């Protein structure tokens, strides 16, 4: 109960694009052990409230049951890295797998790792808790997904997988 599932994190250059999303589906799932009974709330956090508009055309919730916990899900650590926000969770061990960084850190928008604010130096830009690094920065390298982590971003809840699918008709920033 009271779990949060993020459909789409802020990404590098979202704050500078004017294209937005048109007819995109977003998918999110929650975690094992969540009680599916009760009231479910969907909230949309509008990061740039002074520009643009959005139309939510459709939302659906699907429940999928399983008889046992898949081995890929059982490898999710019971305790996350100390850089992770205690209430958000993680997909694997290590600060780059935090669902959110603790309040004293920034998220590196390229690697998604948690970093000290002092590590976000010029010409990088800080916005909404992220450190944005220019595309041509030679210091960043892509990160690999953790072995044994849920494939395709799937996690599960108790003996159910709960899918939230939002269809955005037009989302322009």
pLDDT in tens, 108-124: 877 888 888 888 887 77
Low-confidence ranges of the chain (pLDDT < 70): 1-41, 43-56, 61-77, 134-173
Q: Is the model's pTM score more than 0.75?
A: no
pLDDT in tens, 32-41: 556 666 666 6
> 17 to each of 60, 61, 131, 168, how far by Cα in Å?
28, 30, 17, 17
> 107 to each of 69, 83, 101, 113, how far by Cα in Å?
30, 10, 6, 6
**According to the model, what pLDDT value does residue 160 have?**
43
């Amino acid at each position: 109960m009271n779990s949060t599932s993020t459909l789409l994190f802020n990404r590098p250059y979202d704050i500078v694009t004017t294209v937005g999303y048109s007819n995109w589906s977003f998918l999110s799932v929650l975690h094992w052990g969540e009680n599916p009974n009760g009231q479910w709330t969907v909230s949309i956090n509008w990061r740039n409230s002074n520009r643009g508009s959005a139309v939510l055309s459709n939302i659906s919730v699907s429940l999928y049951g399983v008889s046992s916990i898949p081995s890929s899900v059982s490898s999710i650590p019971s305790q996350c890295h100390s850089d992770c926000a205690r209430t958000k969770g993680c997909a694997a061990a290590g600060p780059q797998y935090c669902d959110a960084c603790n309040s004293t850190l920034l998220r590196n928008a390229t690697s998604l790792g948690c970093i000290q604010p002092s590590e976000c130096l010029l010409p990088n830009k800080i916005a909404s808790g992220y450190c944005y690094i220019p595309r041509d920065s030679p210091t960043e390298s892509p990160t690999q997904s953790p072995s044994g982590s849920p494939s395709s971003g799937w996690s599960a809840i108790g003996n159910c997988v709960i899918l939230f699918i939002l269809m955005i008709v037009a989302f322009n920033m």
